[in-house]
Amino acid sequence: MKPIKELLIIRMSALGDVAMTIPIIYLLAEQNPSISIRVLTRERFKGLFFSCPANISIISCDFGLSNGILGIWRLFKCIKKYHIDAIADLHGILRSYILDFLFAITGTKVAIVHKSRSKRKALTRLKNKRKVQQKSFFDRYVEVFKRLGLDVQLSQNSSYLPVITKEDRKENIKRIGIAPFARYFTKVYPAELMKTVINNLSQKGYAIYLFGNGAHEYNIMQSLIAESPNASIVPDKLSFQEQLEFMATLDVMVSMDSANMHLASLVNIPVASIWGGTTPLCGFLGWQQSKENAICMDLPCQPCSISGTAECPLHHFSCMNSISPDRVIQNIENIITLNKNKRS
């Protein structure tokens, strides 16, 4: 096989999915310093790669996502000038398939992520469900590179992932981040239950920081912390680097199956993740996160989807409604205690 000098990696969206690729891409770059790696993604996600190895560069795909086939053709012509030797398609959607085809017919080697859609369908269907752990997407990404003849060792952390020292603070005041939102309803812990979690944690003296975006989420967060004097809202105007630097000061992050789980994972913060319509069986647990920290009811109907839906298909939403605030708080405090014991 001809040695690869120029590699194109495709992952155009969404935020959490792009964040999931970063540990693998960084390890690939670090272990293959002679390869020039170009990542095709949205312009707004460039900031996620602020600490990348020198052999990684970012190509914006924004101008190619409009005007249908014509836009993709323009994107193809733009990328061709880099003399790409191989393509690792970590997205696997129609747009990326068209790009893959255009490069393949010119002789470029292409490897596409296998999503095992039939197994995922068996996992999420309501009848005759097959509850089988799906392969982690980190492993799926590694397999893509292996099919291109590139080996990635996951036994180490990339030295290029953000290493940020916690700011000086009183050790007895523990900092808890809470990201109470997700894109779909079935992935969101009910607001009234989350408010109880926040109130109880605040009464125990923890410093609590809420993460959200936009006016709608800001208003919800205001109501969540109205009775919690130790809780505050993190400004949503922070850059990705500033947001990651802030997350790195936390003792634990509480999140849904959402982008914030993956962002916190990039800076090695343990995450108490809350799962409803999706579960860790789907293969999206954060980078190096422990399954023991995942809060999930494991009901017969779970998971009902891979990425979440607008409503509970059975109209009871027991997967989230049955998770008590006490269980969430206990999980958070267990993580804090474990980390304290590790440092002592």
CATH number 3.40.50.2000 given to 175-343: yes
Unique residue bearing structure tokens 């997350």: 247
Q: In this structure, are residues 49 and 41 in contact, taking their beta carbons and an 8 Å threshold?
A: no
- At the fourth CATH level, the homologous superfamily of domain 6-147 is Glycogen Phosphorylase B; (3.40.50.2000)
Q: Do the domains 175-343 and 6-147 match in fold?
A: yes
pLDDT along the chain (344 residues), means of 10: 93 97 97 98 96 96 82 95 98 96 98 98 98 98 98 82 58 91 98 99 98 98 97 96 95 98 96 99 97 98 98 98 99 93 61
All residues at 6 or more sequence positions from 51 whose CB lies less than 8 Å from its CB, including other chains: 160, 161, 162
335, two tokens: 């993580």
Say what the pLDDT of residue 164 is: 57
Half-sphere exposure of 134 (CA within 13 A, CB side): 26
The residues spanned by each domain of the chain are 6-147, 175-343
Q: How many residues does the chain have?
A: 344
Say what the pLDDT of residue 167 is: 54
Distance CA 56, CA 326 (A): 44
Tell me the Ramachandran region of residue 329: left when phi exceeds 0, alpha when psi lies from -120 to 50, beta otherwise. Answer: alpha
